[in-house]
Copies of this chain bind each other. A is one copy, B any other.
Amino acid sequence: MPLTDQELKTLDDQGYLFFPNKFTAPEAALLKHEAETVYAMDRKEVWRESSGAARTAFAAHTYNEGFRRLGAHPRLIEPVEQVLGGPVYMHQYKVNAKAAFDGDVWQWHQDYGTWKRDDGMPEPRAMNIAVFLDDVTAANGPLLFIPGSHKRGVIEAGHDLETTSYPLWTLDRKTVSELAEQGGCVAPTGLAGGMLLFSSLLVHASPGNISPFGRIIVYLSLCHVDNHIRAFNRDEWIAHRDFTPIEALSDDCLDELVAENRRAAE
């Protein structure tokens, strides 16, 4: 189902769209299980917090069948193709955990800022998708957005190598406050299976998690194939170099796996 004119207008105004229950509970549960499998792996792509808890599994679509299918799912590929006006490739793929009690902060940043500076991506013709694998609540470190902040283009940022576990180009407080005076600050929350589509220029962050419940969100960054990165400074499993257009799978591609697992368990 293509995005409606109203949805496209909201995306243009606010910089994001939220689709509660985009994936069913069994689909989300399948991917949650796969995330735990991936986090248990001893691989260079799996990064941990200082506590040892998994924080990010990069490029999970290259070594896990469930995440491979999610990365080509029509429910996310088709709207992004529509918004960007053509075929897309996967620039980055992260399964991000925010561990119970220990989950750490991500400071305020724009993703495209990093892609431009580090990866030489020519234009912000790229969109982010977030798929909730757990219920995301006010209590467990939801994603925070500053609506409308994507309209400001690339904002000056400093390279933060200290306050987060992952190097990030972060915005200063004065800038964040000014943007929020205009646009406010929202935390889209909802059940596992929800999906966010947001601009790669949208200013966002996420707080620590002191709650007793962890939460996992999959972030997929999709880029128009003509806009592929030009600089290969980062590892290829962080900033991908396979610019082949993604062909969307069928809408039941995850359901098939759910059914296969159910049969295998019988």
Contact = CB atoms under 8 A, between A and B. Distances in A.
Interface of A: 100-101, 105, 107-108, 137-142, 144, 146, 173, 176-177, 179-180, 185-187, 189, 205, 207-213
Contacts of A141: 207
- Of A100, A177, A207, the most chain B CB neighbours within 10 A belong to A207
B207 A208 contact: yes
Interface of A is mostly: loop
B144 A210 contact: yes
A198 to B, nearest CB: 15
B186 A139 contact: yes
B142 A212 contact: no
A189 to B, nearest CB: 6
A100 to B, nearest CB: 7
A185 B208 contact: no
A76 to B, nearest CB: 24
The 4 closest A-B CB pairs, nearest first, are A138-B138, A138-B187, A180-B212, A177-B212
A185 B144 contact: no
A221 to B, nearest CB: 22
Contacts of A176: 101, 212
B212 A173 contact: yes
Given A101-B173, A207-B208, A137 B185 contact: yes
Contact of A142 (B108, B138, B177): B138
A177 B213 CA distance: 8
- Which residue, of A141, A176, A186, A212, has the highest number of chain B Cβ atoms within 10 A? A212
A175 to B, nearest CB: 10
Contact of A144 (B139, B177, B205): B139
A190 to B, nearest CB: 11
Nearest to A103: B207
Contacts of A137: 138, 185-187
Given A207-B207, A207-B208, 17 more contacts: A101-B176, A105-B210, A107-B210, A137-B138, A137-B187, A138-B189, A139-B144, A139-B185, A139-B187, A139-B207, A141-B207, A179-B212, A180-B211, A180-B213, A185-B213, A205-B210, A207-B209
